[in-house]
A and B are shown apart, each in its own frame.
Chain A
């Protein structure tokens, strides 16, 4: 665990060096700009709308960051050969992969937390209301990003960066349409071939719509603790699965 923590901390330091944390300022500006474009609602409506749209933007930023942060963790170190000096130390490949993942997760947690605080301050300033329920939405976005990052890291053990980005975007889209489009294809579809294709996508991919609670956060009191617990467990399941698959590829990979 010591090695994993050391590697994770190193990922955070590298992110800081690459100034990726500055993205929170960009996010703050984007949210502020959006809030000024909103039509003039009454205060309650404004608060709801602001929360909804800010969380959607947070989700977009989060997913893009999850991909940007994960896609080059392993291939980048192989290309720059810094990996030789790590794997020639008493660091196992599973520790290496897990350390990289936890580092990405820490980056996402820091960035999303600051984004959540920015939304909180903005809603308080524009709609004169405190909305800590925002953090429910930020938390589920974090869980969604955790799944995306694990998938991207798994692909990065064998795929090139462009292929990885393309496949992760496809994965993200499929995981969002699975409840609706894939379900309809599977249940109502008549074409056997598309059903064969839809089956694994429907049953094996995570349902990322579970993590889209911007409506509940924006327009009601959020979701229950039980719901958060269930989607956390669901996310952990897929994260473990993708990291395990990544490990299976990486453990005997010639570098």
Chain B
């Protein structure tokens, strides 16, 4: 699938602050594109405009300017809503409902019949590990359980596009891993996932593309592998190369040990020369790949560039 699931062009949104007539910009000319079938991550520090962007996508607030589409329909067009699921940050639900009743309620809004609602509820509660607590009212749930319920209700209509605001919020490491597995499984099922997250490792592990926003603007946008790649640099991993450090030092920009192997960061133009030395010294070649920085490095670099 290659079409756009979400497309925003030059979106602007500002708010009045208190009684002042002055308006404070929350989003300033944000553009992004999420392709169908991918996992997209929206990243940014607090107050960067992530939640405002999600609210605009969902028609909860309205942009001052700009345009966009969600599943091929213009922003705010509710006909696309039957094909999307939403998990709000720190989900709030009717506390007097049980998980089963809650899923039944949300299922009704999608026109699902009673049998469909019952079977989907059972399947989703199993998937998020809430089967045993399904008879409890939601006001008795822990934060993690509410988060799991939130994911279940976001999937009740078997959506094409799932929008998630901090999906791992409040979950322990095991829960976070389970969420990552669910995200990957949803992608395998052909769903598009738009997630906003502070958890850089989660994003790095699951996302195909990202947009880093700061002060309402997109400062990095694109395929995650491309963004993390360091242009002109290659990572050569050899075993036992630390002993031959001196022979390689003139060709290597950075050398470090990792998991019993030696990781060399070299100019791409020097790769063959490094391999010649490695062959001469009979070092075992583990891998050659384009150099990558971490998402954290990219994130900090992008934010610093804006002078934050």
Bound CA–CA A86/B97 (angstroms): 15
Binding-face segment, A21-29, A77-85, A112-120, A165-173: A77-85
The answer to whether B94 and A82 touch across the interface, beta carbons within 8 angstroms, is yes
CB distance from A161 to the nearest CB of B (A): 19
Identify A91's interface contact among B84, B86, B88, B109, CB under 8 A.
Answer: B109
Bound CA–CA A174/B276 (angstroms): 95
Interface residues of A in 7-27 (CB under 8 A from B): 10, 13-14, 17
Bound CA–CA A252/B78 (angstroms): 14
B58 interfacial contact with A, CB 8 Å: yes
With contacts A10-B94, A14-B96, A82-B93 taken as known, whether A88 is within 8 angstroms of B81 at the C-beta atoms is: yes
Identify B108's interface contact among A6, A13, A88, CB under 8 A.
Answer: A6
With contacts A2-B108, A6-B105, A91-B109 taken as known, whether A82 is within 8 angstroms of B92 at the C-beta atoms is: yes
The answer to whether B109 and A3 touch across the interface, beta carbons within 8 angstroms, is yes
A89 CB contacts on chain B under 8 angstroms: 81, 106, 109-110
A162 CB contacts on chain B under 8 angstroms: none
Contact pattern, B 206-243, Cβ under 8 Å of A = 1, otherwise 0: 00000000000000000000000000000000000000
In addition to A84-B55, A88-B59, 4 A-B residue pairs with Cβ atoms within 8 Å of each other are A91-B78, A91-B109, A252-B62, A254-B15
Contact pattern, B 163-177, Cβ under 8 Å of A = 1, otherwise 0: 100000000000000
Identify B78's interface contact among A85, A86, A90, CB under 8 A.
Answer: A90
B111 interfacial contact with A, CB 8 Å: yes
A196 interfacial contact with B, CB 8 Å: no
Interface residues of B in 42-75 (CB under 8 A from A): 55, 58-62
B147 interfacial contact with A, CB 8 Å: no
B60 CB contacts on chain A under 8 angstroms: 84, 87-88, 254-255
Bound CA–CA A255/B97 (angstroms): 23
Minimum CB distance partner of B94 in chain A: A82
Can you sample 8 A-B contacts with CB below 8 Å? A10-B94, A14-B94, A82-B94, A87-B60, A90-B79, A90-B109, A92-B78, A254-B15
The answer to whether A86 and B92 touch across the interface, beta carbons within 8 angstroms, is no
| Chain A residues close to B by CB (< 8 Å) | 2-3, 6, 10, 13-14, 17, 80-82, 84-92, 252, 254-255
B294 interfacial contact with A, CB 8 Å: no
B29 interfacial contact with A, CB 8 Å: no
The answer to whether A84 and B88 touch across the interface, beta carbons within 8 angstroms, is yes
A3 CB contacts on chain B under 8 angstroms: 108-109
The answer to whether A85 and B93 touch across the interface, beta carbons within 8 angstroms, is yes
Contact pattern, B 79-119, Cβ under 8 Å of A = 1, otherwise 0: 10110101010111110110000000110111100000000
Minimum CB distance partner of B96 in chain A: A17
Identify A85's interface contact among B59, B108, B153, CB under 8 A.
Answer: B153
The answer to whether A88 and B58 touch across the interface, beta carbons within 8 angstroms, is yes
Bound CA–CA A254/B56 (angstroms): 9
| Chain B residues close to A by CB (< 8 Å) | 15, 55, 58-62, 78-79, 81-82, 84, 86, 88, 90-94, 96-97, 105-106, 108-111, 153, 163
Minimum CB distance partner of A79 in chain B: B92
The answer to whether A81 and B92 touch across the interface, beta carbons within 8 angstroms, is yes
CB distance from A27 to the nearest CB of B (A): 24
With contacts A6-B105, A92-B78 taken as known, whether A85 is within 8 angstroms of B62 at the C-beta atoms is: no
Bound CA–CA A1/B59 (angstroms): 21
A10 CB contacts on chain B under 8 angstroms: 94, 105
With contacts A14-B94, A254-B62 taken as known, whether A85 is within 8 angstroms of B88 at the C-beta atoms is: yes
The answer to whether B88 and A81 touch across the interface, beta carbons within 8 angstroms, is yes
With contacts A2-B111, A6-B109 taken as known, whether A85 is within 8 angstroms of B92 at the C-beta atoms is: yes
Minimum CB distance partner of A18 in chain B: B96
CB distance from A13 to the nearest CB of B (A): 7
A81 CB contacts on chain B under 8 angstroms: 88, 90, 92
Q: Which of B59, B60, B62, B79 has the most CB of A within 10 A?
A: B60
Bound CA–CA A35/B231 (angstroms): 90
Bound CA–CA A135/B261 (angstroms): 88
Bound CA–CA A2/B79 (angstroms): 16
Bound CA–CA A14/B105 (angstroms): 13
The answer to whether B86 and A88 touch across the interface, beta carbons within 8 angstroms, is yes
CB distance from A38 to the nearest CB of B (A): 41
With contacts A254-B61, A254-B62 taken as known, whether A86 is within 8 angstroms of B86 at the C-beta atoms is: no
The answer to whether B111 and A255 touch across the interface, beta carbons within 8 angstroms, is no
Top 9 A-B residue pairs of the complex, sorted by shortest distance between their CB atoms: A88-B86, A89-B109, A254-B61, A17-B96, A81-B92, A90-B81, A88-B58, A90-B82, A6-B108
Minimum CB distance partner of B163 in chain A: A88
CB distance from B137 to the nearest CB of A (A): 9
CB distance from B80 to the nearest CB of A (A): 9
A17 CB contacts on chain B under 8 angstroms: 96
A84 CB contacts on chain B under 8 angstroms: 55, 58, 60, 86, 88, 92
CB distance from A150 to the nearest CB of B (A): 24
